[in-house]
Structure 1
Amino acid sequence: MKKFFKSVLVLTIATGLVAFTTPVEEKSVKPEESTVTWKGYKVTGSHEGTVQLQSGNLEFDGDQLTGGEFVVDMSTLISTDLTGEYKGKLEVHLKSDDFFGVEKFPTASLKITDVKSNGKNSYEVTGDLTVKGKTNPVTFDMSVYGNKATANVKIDRTKYDIRYGSGSFFDDLGDKTIYDEFDLVVDLQF
């Protein structure tokens, strides 16, 4: 009889704990209202543009960010700092195998693997970034306010086998050197 009451007590406590646990809520990102802006640097200046989200979601436990996943449509990669012939040439080159190999790798993705709170609405986020079929961890800060999240992400392109014009791999490039790191500024609406 004691075992029966002990079992009922344990079951009641376990049920109560489950009832007070907040379920993880997944919030879908609105790709058409979100922006991903890129900026790449070279010795003689920089170029910038955008690429569009294909899909994404953020996961929350109550109001605390706990995870998320995103897919970027690499075929939408464009330059916004050039016009005409030079804009077209840069976009074709960025989509070629020298850079992102968009024909073979039409998407890039990020899966959040760890989130640490840095204070109210601020997080240190670590995720697995996959570009050109190669996956590496990235860590960045993200802020979440209401139905908006923002992040600035610095990416070392050479970790994804994007070595064109890299001074880390080629000598005597001079003013044709393209720096290994590029920036993403991400504004998400969900």
Structure 2
Amino acid sequence: MKKNVLSLALTVIFGATAIAGPVEGEKKEVKTDASTVTWKAYKVTGSHTGTIALKSGALMFDEGKLTGGEFTVDMTTINTTDLEGGAKGKLDGHLHSDDFFATASNPTSNLVFTNVEASGKNSYKVTGDLTIKGITKPVTFDVSVYGSKATATLKVDRAQYNVKYGSGSFFDDLGDKTIYDEFDLVVDLEF
């Protein structure tokens, strides 16, 4: 009985100490309904733009400075915003197909910050692991934080994620049917 009381007392003391310990940082959940991810892809004959929804996300701060982040994108929401009608439906369907992002078998993509360095008062150079179609590659980009908002712009090389359709990296003699490998993501976050 004394042994049980002593064990209980030690658990309470050490448990309280662990709870009262110093806080390493603050995790701020992103408001997915108020945040946007816009993409722009380029081809020889022009470009297309669209959006994709965040499923979840958080930024980590320590004493007001950005220290980390983690995001999940809902790939099933990828859509085109510069087309209408049948052309929009055709391109949206193609983006979901195995030719592009295979969203039926890869419904999410993820980004996890691996390194954050301050590059100015409110700006940071971030390196992260980006996973698309189950393939993880490092990306580097800039993030700006102002109050409860953050913005980032990054270039993604789709060829690194086995997104082959219309890519000059995989196919020869595409001519004006070539779709460039790099596409842009513009991310506006609220937290």
What CA distance in whole angstroms lies between the structure 1 residues aligned with 2:162 and 2:172?
A: 17
- 2:49 matched residue in structure 1: 48
Deviation per CA, 1:20-53, whole angstroms, max 9, x where unpaired? x653100000000000000000000000000000
Compute the displacement of 1:163 (Å). 1.0
Partner SS state of residue 119, structure 2 = strand
What CA distance in whole angstroms lies between the structure 1 residues aligned with 2:170 and 2:147?
A: 44
What CA distance in whole angstroms lies between the structure 2 residues aligned with 1:47 and 1:159?
A: 20
What CA distance in whole angstroms lies between the structure 2 residues aligned with 1:131 and 1:167?
A: 20
User: 1:151–1:185: 8 Å Cα contact kept in structure 2?
Assistant: yes
What CA distance in whole angstroms lies between the structure 2 residues aligned with 1:113 and 1:168?
A: 28
Deviation per CA, 1:54-98, whole angstroms, max 9, x where unpaired? 000000001100001000001111100000000000000000000
User: 1:35–1:186: 8 Å Cα contact kept in structure 2?
Assistant: yes
Compute the displacement of 1:169 (Å). 1.5
Partner SS state of residue 170, structure 2 = coil
Deviation per CA, 1:137-163, whole angstroms, max 9, x where unpaired? 000000000000000010000000001
- 2:88 matched residue in structure 1: 87
- 2:175 matched residue in structure 1: 174
Paired positions, count: 173
- 1:110 matched residue in structure 2: 111
- 1:159 matched residue in structure 2: 160
- 2:27 matched residue in structure 1: 26
Deviation per CA, 1:98-126, whole angstroms, max 9, x where unpaired? 00000000000000000000010100000
Q: Report the residue type matching 2:40 in the other structure.
A: K
What CA distance in whole angstroms lies between the structure 2 residues aligned with 1:169 and 1:35?
A: 31
Residue identity (%):
65
Partner SS state of residue 33, structure 1 = coil
- 2:73 matched residue in structure 1: 72
Runs of 4+ with >6 A deviation: none
User: 1:98–1:163: 8 Å Cα contact kept in structure 2?
Assistant: yes
Compute the displacement of 1:168 (Å). 1.5
Query: Over aligned residue pairs, what C-alpha RMSD do you find?
Result: 1.4
Question: Gaps spanning 5+ residues in structure 1: where?
Answer: 1-14
- 2:145 matched residue in structure 1: 144
What CA distance in whole angstroms lies between the structure 1 residues aligned with 2:108 and 2:128?
A: 16
- 1:6 matched residue in structure 2: none
User: 1:24–1:59: 8 Å Cα contact kept in structure 2?
Assistant: yes
Q: Report the residue type matching 1:127 in the other structure.
A: G
After TM superposition, the score normalised by the length of structure 2 is 0.88
